[in-house]
């Protein structure tokens, strides 16, 4: 019942008040009455929340549509809510798609139909501990308390796959909470391991604040382990992060990653998909300025970076990117 109540609440709050909330941030008047397209973001204050707030507000400002951003538990819940018809758009990561589309894990019995719009960033959410913890490897986490943020978030899905590939999924003590709660728990010693939170290699404000009181350490993740995890879920990626973007590193470090992909309901028409995509990318400088480092990769070229050939792309988004000369021929178009 709690799950149903949450979805009812999310459905109910995505109305005029949600759309109006975007007006003070971006200026201008609200559009005429009509459908309000609801965008799922992530937990309040997270990078996913901030990204979707900016993107949905830009869609409202620069198109005829009205768009509202809603706080959710993250990418996995957004996929479920798209499947239930609660959301029109939602932030997701590349690791959310395989289980959602195939009805696996939390989606068992309820496979989701969704289409891709574009990719907008890449996150590094590698297991991280306090430098004074004595924990040196993933295997050392056996019997330890692990908190991958929210239970419905994309990082939990990523870590389930990574920890299963490492053979320790059933050997750790799992607990969940918001990103703020996770970072507070590591600081207080209530948990032993949480995810790093870097956007395109840049540490989040939460990480920067934690570093003022505690030295942090990234646990090593080998290419072989990432390849094993990617064989289980193709959305698992890796990236090298250097001290040039995160000064807390002593040397270039391989981190487990996933791409940020805007998901949409298959009911979003070609015209609406085109209008949303054009509103964001024709005004990319505006979006990048307001999104900062979190949206520095809003460019036509990066839009294709993490789109996956296995899943269709909205016809309107495809039309726009073909006009920009960046369309990938290995991708398929919905409809």
pLDDT digits (tens, 9 = 90+) for 111-133: 999 999 999 999 999 999 999 99
pLDDT on residue 8? 53
Provide the CATH topology of domain 2-121+259-323.
D-Maltodextrin-Binding Protein; domain 2 (3.40.190)
Under 8 Å between Cβ of 301 and 251: no
pLDDT on residue 154? 82
Same fold for the pair 2-121+259-323 and 124-256: yes
pLDDT at 2 > cutoff 70: no
Q: Where are the domains of the chain?
A: 2-121+259-323, 124-256
pLDDT on residue 89? 98
pLDDT at 45 > cutoff 80: no
Mean pLDDT for the stretch of residues 316-330: 98
pLDDT at 198 > cutoff 60: yes
- pLDDT tens digits for 216-260? 999 999 999 999 999 999 999 999 999 999 999 999 999 999 999
- pLDDT tens digits for 262-299? 999 999 999 999 999 999 999 999 999 999 989 999 99
pLDDT on residue 258? 95
pLDDT on residue 315? 98
- What CATH number belongs to 124-256? 3.40.190.10
pLDDT at 210 > cutoff 70: yes
pTM surpassing 0.85? Answer: no
Residue that wins the pLDDT comparison between 45 and 207: 207
Q: What angle do CA 300, 321, 198 make, to 5 degrees?
A: 35
- pLDDT tens digits for 62-116? 999 999 999 998 888 999 999 999 999 999 999 999 999 999 988 999 999 999 9
Under 8 Å between Cβ of 50 and 260: no
Output the average pLDDT for the chain: 90
Positive or negative, the CA dihedral 305, 116, 108, 193 is positive
Q: Per mean pLDDT, which range of 147-161, 164-178, 201-215 is the poorest?
A: 147-161
Q: Which of 158, 209, 162, 159 is nearest to 183 (CA)?
A: 209
Residue length, the chain?
335
């Amino acid at each position: 019942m709690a799950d149903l109540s949450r979805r009812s609440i999310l459905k109910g709050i995505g109305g005029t008040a949600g759309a109006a909330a975007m007006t003070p941030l971006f200026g201008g008047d609200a559009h005429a009455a009509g459908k309000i397209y609801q965008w799922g973001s992530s937990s309040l204050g997270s990078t996913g929340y901030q990204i979707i707030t900016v993107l949905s507000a830009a869609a409202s400002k620069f198109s005829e549509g009205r768009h509202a951003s809603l706080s959710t538990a993250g990418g996995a819940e957004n996929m479920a809510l798209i499947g239930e018809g609660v959301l029109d758009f939602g932030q997701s990561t590349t690791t959310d798609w395989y289980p959602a589309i195939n009805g696996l894990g939390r989606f068992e019995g309820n496979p989701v139909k969704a289409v891709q719009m574009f990719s907008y960033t890449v996150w590094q959410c590698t297991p991280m501990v306090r430098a004074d913890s004595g924990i040196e490897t993933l295997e050392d986490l056996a019997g330890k308390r692990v908190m991958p943020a929210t239970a419905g978030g994309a990082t939990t899905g990523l870590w389930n796959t990574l920890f299963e590939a490492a053979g320790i999924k059933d050997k750790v003590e799992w607990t969940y909470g918001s990103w703020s709660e996770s970072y507070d728990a590591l600081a207080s010693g209530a948990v032993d391991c949480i995810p790093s939170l870097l956007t395109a290699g840049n540490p989040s404000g939460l990480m920067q604040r934690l570093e003022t009181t505690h030295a942090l350490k990234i646990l090593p993740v080998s290419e072989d382990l990432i390849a094993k995890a990617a064989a289980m879920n193709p959305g698992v990626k890796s990236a090298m992060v250097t001290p040039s973007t995160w000064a807390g590193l002593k040397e270039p470090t391989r981190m487990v990653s996933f791409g940020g992909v805007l998901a949409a309901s298959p009911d979003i028409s070609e015209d609406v998909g085109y209008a949303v995509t054009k509103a964001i990318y024709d005004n990319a400088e505006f979006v990048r300025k307001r999104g900062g480092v979190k949206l520095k990769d809003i460019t036509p070229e990066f839009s294709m970076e993490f789109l996956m050939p296995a899943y269709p792309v909205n016809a309107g988004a495809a039309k726009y990117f073909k006009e920009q000369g960046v369309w990938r021929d290995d991708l398929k178009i919905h409809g």
